[in-house]
Chains A and B, each alone.
Chain A
Amino acid sequence: MSTDRIVGQPVPRLEGRDKVTGQARYVDDIELPGMLFGATVRSRVPRGKITKITFGAEVDWREFVIVSAKDIPGKNCIALIDDDEPCLAEGMVNHPEEPILLLAHPDRRLLPHAVEALSVEYEPLPAIFSIEESEQQSQIIWGTDNVFKSYLIEKGDVDAVWEKAAYIVEGEYRTGAQEQLYIENNGMIAAFDPQQGVTVWGSMQCPYYVHKSLVKLCNLPPERVRVVQTETGGAFGGKEDYPSMIAGHAALLAMKSGRPVKIIYDRMEDMAATTKRHPSRTRHRTAVSKDGKILGGEIEFTIDGGAYETLSPVVLSRGAIHAGGAYYWPNIRIRAKAVATNTPPQGAFRGFGAPQSLFALERHMDRIAQVVQLSPVEIRRRNLLKPGETTTTGQSVSEAIDLRKLLDRALRLSDYAAKKERFARENRGGNRKKGIGIASFLHGAGFTGSGERYLSSVVGVEGRTDGSVRVLVSSTEFGQGTNTVLCQIVAEALQLRYEDVGIAQPDTQEVPNSGPTVASRTVMVVGKLVQSAALGIRQTLEASGLLGARYSPEEFRAAVRAYVAKNGKLQSLARYEQPEDVVWDDQKYRGSAYAAFAWAVYVAEVTVDLTTCSVSVDDFVALQEVGRVLHPILATGQIVGGIAQGIGFALYEKVIWDKGRMQNGQMTNYIIPTSADLAPIRVYFEELGNVHGAYGAKGIGELPMDGPAPAVINAVEDALGVPFDSIPLLPEDIFDAVTRKAGRESISSVAEDGR
Chain B
Amino acid sequence: MNESPQNRAECDIPFQVNGKLVAVRVYPMERLLDVLREELGLTGTKEGCGEGECGSCAVLMDGALVNSCLIPVLQAKGAKITTIEGLARGEQLHALQQAFLDCGGAQCGICTPGMILAAYHLLSTKPQPSLEDIREGLSGNLCRCTGYEQIVEAVAKVGRRGSGG
Cα of A739 to Cα of B111 in the assembled complex, Å: 41
Give A35 Cβ to nearest chain B Cβ, in Å: 12
Cα of A519 to Cα of B148 in the assembled complex, Å: 24
Given the known A-B contacts A21-B85, A26-B110, A184-B48, are A633 and B104 also in contact in the complex, defined by CB atoms under 8 Å?
A: yes
Given the known A-B contacts A267-B50, A637-B104, A643-B147, are A24 and B109 also in contact in the complex, defined by CB atoms under 8 Å?
A: yes
Give B4 Cβ to nearest chain A Cβ, in Å: 9
Is B68 on the interface with A (CB-CB < 8 A)?
no
Is B44 on the interface with A (CB-CB < 8 A)?
yes
Task: For A753, list chain B residues within 8 Å (CB).
Answer: none
Interface centre among B42, B53, B108, by most chain A C-beta atoms within 10 angstroms, is: B108
Is B112 on the interface with A (CB-CB < 8 A)?
yes
Is A182 on the interface with B (CB-CB < 8 A)?
yes
Q: Among the listed A20, A643, A645, which residue makes an inter-chain contact with B144, where contact means beta carbons less than 8 Å apart?
A: A645
Inter-subunit contact B110/A233 (CB<8 Å): yes
Given the known A-B contacts A183-B54, A234-B108, are A22 and B145 also in contact in the complex, defined by CB atoms under 8 Å?
A: no
Inter-subunit contact B135/A675 (CB<8 Å): yes
Cα of A637 to Cα of B93 in the assembled complex, Å: 22
Is B24 on the interface with A (CB-CB < 8 A)?
no
Cα of A643 to Cα of B146 in the assembled complex, Å: 9
Q: Quick one: CB contact mask for B62-83 with A, threshold 8 Å, 1 for yes? A: 0000000000000000000001
Cα of A24 to Cα of B112 in the assembled complex, Å: 11
Within 8 A of A (CB), among B94-120: 97, 100-113, 116
Inter-subunit contact A21/B97 (CB<8 Å): yes
Is B128 on the interface with A (CB-CB < 8 A)?
no
Q: Among the listed A21, A234, A643, A645, which residue makes an inter-chain contact with B110, where contact means beta carbons less than 8 Å apart?
A: A234
Inter-subunit contact B46/A636 (CB<8 Å): no
Is A562 on the interface with B (CB-CB < 8 A)?
no
Task: For A642, list chain B residues within 8 Å (CB).
Answer: 147
**What is the size category of the interface that chain B forms with chain A?**
35 or more
Inter-subunit contact A666/B106 (CB<8 Å): no
Is A549 on the interface with B (CB-CB < 8 A)?
no
Task: For A703, list chain B residues within 8 Å (CB).
Answer: none
Q: Among the listed B2, B50, B106, B142, which residue makes an inter-chain contact with A13, where contact means beta carbons less than 8 Å apart?
A: B106
Q: Quick one: CB contact mask for B144-162 with A, threshold 8 Å, 1 for yes? A: 1111111110000000000
Within 8 A of B (CB), among A153-193: 180-185
Is B9 on the interface with A (CB-CB < 8 A)?
no
Q: Among the listed A12, A233, A634, A640, which residue makes an inter-chain contact with B149, where contact means beta carbons less than 8 Å apart?
A: A640
Given the known A-B contacts A21-B93, A640-B147, A666-B53, are A184 and B135 also in contact in the complex, defined by CB atoms under 8 Å?
A: no
Interface centre among A16, A18, A29, A182, by most chain B C-beta atoms within 10 angstroms, is: A16
Task: For B23, list chain A residues within 8 Å (CB).
Answer: none
Cα of A18 to Cα of B110 in the assembled complex, Å: 11
Give A230 Cβ to nearest chain B Cβ, in Å: 12
Task: For B93, list chain A residues within 8 Å (CB).
Answer: 17, 20-21
Inter-subunit contact A675/B2 (CB<8 Å): no
Cα of A145 to Cα of B47 in the assembled complex, Å: 42
Is A505 on the interface with B (CB-CB < 8 A)?
no
Cα of A642 to Cα of B152 in the assembled complex, Å: 17
Task: For A25, list chain B residues within 8 Å (CB).
Answer: 43
Q: Among the listed A17, A19, A644, A668, which residue makes an inter-chain contact with B147, where contact means beta carbons less than 8 Å apart?
A: A644
Is A74 on the interface with B (CB-CB < 8 A)?
no
Within 8 A of B (CB), among A611-662: 633-634, 636-637, 640-645
Is A208 on the interface with B (CB-CB < 8 A)?
no
Inter-subunit contact A20/B116 (CB<8 Å): yes
Q: Among the listed B1, B141, B144, B150, which residue makes an inter-chain contact with A234, where contact means beta carbons less than 8 Å apart?
A: B144
Is A408 on the interface with B (CB-CB < 8 A)?
no
Cα of A18 to Cα of B93 in the assembled complex, Å: 11
Is B11 on the interface with A (CB-CB < 8 A)?
no
Q: Closest residue of chain A to B154, judged by CB? A: A20
Q: Quick one: CB contact mask for B119-147 with A, threshold 8 Å, 1 for yes? A: 00000000000000011101111111111
Given the known A-B contacts A21-B44, A22-B85, A637-B104, are A675 and B110 also in contact in the complex, defined by CB atoms under 8 Å?
A: no
Q: Among the listed B83, B113, B116, B144, which residue makes an inter-chain contact with A672, where contact means beta carbons less than 8 Å apart?
A: B144
Give A314 Cβ to nearest chain B Cβ, in Å: 23
Q: Among the listed A16, A107, A185, A681, which residue makes an inter-chain contact with B101, where contact means beta carbons less than 8 Å apart?
A: A16
Q: Closest residue of chain A to B56, judged by CB? A: A183
Cα of A484 to Cα of B84 in the assembled complex, Å: 23
Cα of A634 to Cα of B150 in the assembled complex, Å: 10
Task: For A634, list chain B residues within 8 Å (CB).
Answer: 104
Task: For B42, list chain A residues within 8 Å (CB).
Answer: 22
Cα of A333 to Cα of B102 in the assembled complex, Å: 49
Closest 5 CB pairs of A and B: A22-B44, A233-B110, A479-B108, A19-B109, A644-B147
19 contacts between A and B (CB under 8 A): A12-B102, A21-B85, A22-B42, A22-B113, A26-B43, A28-B43, A29-B43, A182-B108, A183-B54, A183-B143, A232-B108, A234-B144, A480-B107, A481-B107, A633-B150, A637-B107, A640-B149, A644-B148, A672-B142
